A = this chain, B = another copy of it.
């Protein structure tokens, strides 16, 4: 079973900033193994506030994230190879796009490298499944975002039996080795699995069918996928159990409340960036000399 350390960062990053939410207070930290069969997708662990206070807090925390990201970017420009890679996984309608828009949208686009991994192209299928992933890894200083990722190759690929079990079965260890190398090369992985309930998904799909401005988000295949829900849960359980490592842990985020999952991912990113202990890069030139040159120019 995977450890569920996700509520620690949200609580600790907030605590470090002395945020108490006007007396509402922070929730208890629940650490332990995650059993998806009993996972409460409507919970807001680590946070006792309501929607309104959650949204207000998110608005406050965006600039905090943005400042940290700018420092990461500045260090990257000065040659620091470190970067942060947010990996987003979740069933359709879980809110991955909303995270990109409302969390990543608060930072400078110059420092963001966003990649969405859909159904592989013909060219991608001719390569190893990590080929297209490696091509989109963030450079030093970047905040990379993977909307879906190499985990699709042990999720949809497994559920739909696109390769034999012994093939996908070998991928967990391979992914762990891949991610260990990534972290050794300077990448901080923030892996977020977003979980909605089958009912909440139904509501969100219905909204897409009721609003002509949302039709483009709807795919008839999404309904067929609902029939595979238990198989996906099993596949996600294995992902959490087998690929949540010390160097690249999974964070299982309840996603029935969009405001909560956005806040949680914001805090996870703030925490990841703080752990890099970034400072502004030192001048790689003599400041006083440059001031004189500038004055004379």
B147/A110 in contact, CB under 8 A: yes
**Once the chains are docked, how many angstroms separate the CA of A109 from the CA of B102?**
9
Interface contacts beyond A97-B110, A101-B109, A209-B287: sample of 20 additional A-B pairs, CB < 8 Å, sorted by A:
A74-B213, A74-B216, A77-B216, A100-B108, A100-B109, A101-B110, A104-B109, A105-B105, A109-B109, A110-B114, A110-B116, A110-B147, A112-B112, A202-B297, A206-B294, A209-B291, A212-B280, A215-B282, A215-B287, A223-B290
Main secondary structure of the interface of A (DSSP, over half): helix
Residue contacts A-B, CB under 8 angstroms, 13 given: A74-B217, A105-B105, A105-B107, A110-B147, A112-B114, A206-B294, A209-B290, A215-B282, A216-B280, A216-B281, A220-B290, A223-B293, A227-B297
Which residues of A are in contact with B by a Cβ distance under 8 Å? 74-75, 77-78, 97, 100-101, 104-105, 107-110, 112, 114, 116, 145, 147, 202, 205-206, 209, 212-213, 215-218, 220, 223, 226-227, 280-283, 285, 287, 290-291, 293-294, 297
Q: Which residue of B lies closest to A77 (CB)?
A: B216
**Once the chains are docked, how many angstroms separate the CA of A77 from the CA of B216?**
7
Q: Which residue of B lies closest to A296 (CB)?
A: B223
**Once the chains are docked, how many angstroms separate the CA of A145 from the CA of B283?**
29
**Once the chains are docked, how many angstroms separate the CA of A107 from the CA of B112?**
13
For A287, list chain B residues within 8 Å (CB): 209, 215
If A218-B283, A281-B216, A285-B218 touch, whether A209 touches B294 (CB-CB below 8 Å) is: yes
Most chain B C-beta atoms within 10 Å of own C-beta, residue among A97, A212, A218, A297:
A297
